[in-house]
């Protein structure tokens, strides 16, 4: 966010000084940087680039194997057999994300089952799931 902070500072100081040279000296940046930032009419926006990973084409298989109970090293070996050329790191990172998502899904399913059994009230379940109103739970439970 350095560009955004610089853009705001350059515009603020330039309005006070009216000089690109003075603005550059005050901020300790190059005059060309001040010129470039002043030419921008709107604030710079951060836009993250997406880079494809070598394991993208295997993600469905990885999820399937994880659900079958295979561990990361075994999944990596199986991927190597079918042509995966990457290293084990991205596979483990993806497995970590799968496991985090699965724990959230399991906890929600557990709360919903407690409601169905009558152990937990819908109000308490909504509070645990962070849901305002009971419409979602009523819909899920068919009530």
Mean per-residue pLDDT for 87-92?
92
DSSP states of 93-136 as a string? HHHHHHHHHHHHHHHHHHHHHHHHHTSS-HHHHHHHHT-SSSHH
Contact 113, 140 (CB under 8 A): no
Confidence band (pLDDT; 50, 70, 90) for 130?
A: low
Instruction: Give pLDDT, residue 121.
Output: 67
Give the residue among 44, 37, 2, 41 at the shortest CA–CA distance from 23.
37
55-59-65 Cα angle (round to 5): 115
Confidence band (pLDDT; 50, 70, 90) for 88?
A: very high
Confidence band (pLDDT; 50, 70, 90) for 1?
A: very low
pLDDT digits (tens, 9 = 90+) for 40-87: 888 877 777 888 888 889 988 888 888 888 899 999 999 999 999 989
CA distance 55 to 53: 5
φ, ψ of residue 85 in degrees (nearest 5): -110, 0
Contact 38, 11 (CB under 8 A): yes
Query: For residue 24, what are its two tokens?
Result: 């550059």
Reply yes or no on whether the pLDDT at 99 is more than 50: yes
Instruction: Give pLDDT, residue 84.
Output: 92
Reply yes or no on whether the pLDDT at 134 is more than 80: no
Reply yes or no on whether the pLDDT at 92 is more than 90: yes
Instruction: Give pLDDT, residue 2.
Output: 64
Instruction: Give pLDDT, residue 63.
Output: 86
Contact 25, 52 (CB under 8 A): no
Give the residue among 10, 6, 19 at the shortest CA–CA distance from 38.
10
pLDDT digits (tens, 9 = 90+) for 100-124: 877 666 666 666 666 666 666 666 6
CA distance 24 to 135: 57
């Amino acid at each position: 966010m350095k560009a955004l902070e610089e853009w705001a500072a350059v515009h603020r100081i330039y309005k006070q000084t009216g000089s690109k040279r003075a603005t550059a000296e005050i901020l300790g940046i190059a005059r060309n940087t001040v010129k470039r930032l002043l030419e921008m009419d709107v604030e710079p926006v951060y836009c993250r680039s997406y880079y494809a990973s070598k394991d993208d084409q295997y993600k469905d298989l990885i999820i399937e194997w994880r659900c079958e109970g295979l561990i990361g090293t075994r999944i990596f070996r199986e991927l190597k057999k079918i042509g995966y050329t990457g290293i084990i790191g991205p596979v483990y990172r993806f497995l970590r994300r799968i496991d985090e998502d699965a724990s959230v899904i399991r906890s929600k399913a557990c709360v919903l089952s407690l409601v169905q059994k009558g152990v937990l009230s819908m109000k308490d379940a909504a509070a645990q799931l962070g849901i305002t109103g009971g419409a979602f739970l009523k819909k899920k439970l068919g009530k």
